[in-house]
Amino acid sequence: MATFSFVSVRLSWYSLIFFGLVLTQVECLKDASIDRIFTEEELSSYIGENDGPIYLSVLGEVYDVSTGKDFYAAGSGYSYFAGKDGTVAFFSGEFEDTTEKKNILDYKPNQIAAMEEWRAFYEDHETYFFVGKLEGDFYDSKGHPTQYLNDIKEKLNIKEEKDL
Give the pLDDT confidence of 68-78 residue by residue, as tens digits: 999 999 999 99
113 and 54, same structural domain? yes
64 and 5, same structural domain? no
116 and 58, same structural domain? yes
Residue 157: pLDDT band by 50, 70, 90 thresholds? Answer: confident
Residue 121 has pLDDT above 90, yes or no: yes
80 and 11, same structural domain? no
111 and 75, same structural domain? yes
Residue 61: pLDDT band by 50, 70, 90 thresholds? Answer: very high
What is the DSSP track for the chain?
A: -HHHHHHHHHHHHHHHHHHHHHHHHHHHHHHHTSPEEE-HHHHTT-B-GGG--BEEEETTEEEE-GGGHHHHSTTSTTGGGTTSB-HHHHHH------SSPP-GGGS-HHHHHHHHHHHHHHHH-SS-EEEEEEBTTTB-TTSPBPHHHHHHHHHHHHHHHHH-
- Between residues 137 and 28, which one has the greater pLDDT? 137
Residue 128 CA to residue 66 CA, distance in Å, equals 7
As for how many domains the chain has, the answer is 2
143 and 67, same structural domain? yes
Residue 79 has pLDDT above 80, yes or no: yes
The confidence score (pLDDT) of residue 91 equals 76
Domain assignment of residue 5, given as a range: 1-34
138 and 58, same structural domain? yes
pLDDT, tens only, 82-92: 999 999 888 77
45 and 22, same structural domain? no
Residue 126: pLDDT band by 50, 70, 90 thresholds? Answer: very high
Q: Tell me what the mean pLDDT of segment 143-153 comes to.
A: 96
125 and 99, same structural domain? yes
Q: What does pTM read for this prediction?
A: 0.75
49 and 13, same structural domain? no
Summary mean pLDDT of the chain: 80
144 and 109, same structural domain? yes
Q: What is the CATH number of the domain that holds 127?
A: 3.10.120.10
Residue 147 has pLDDT above 90, yes or no: yes
119 and 84, same structural domain? yes
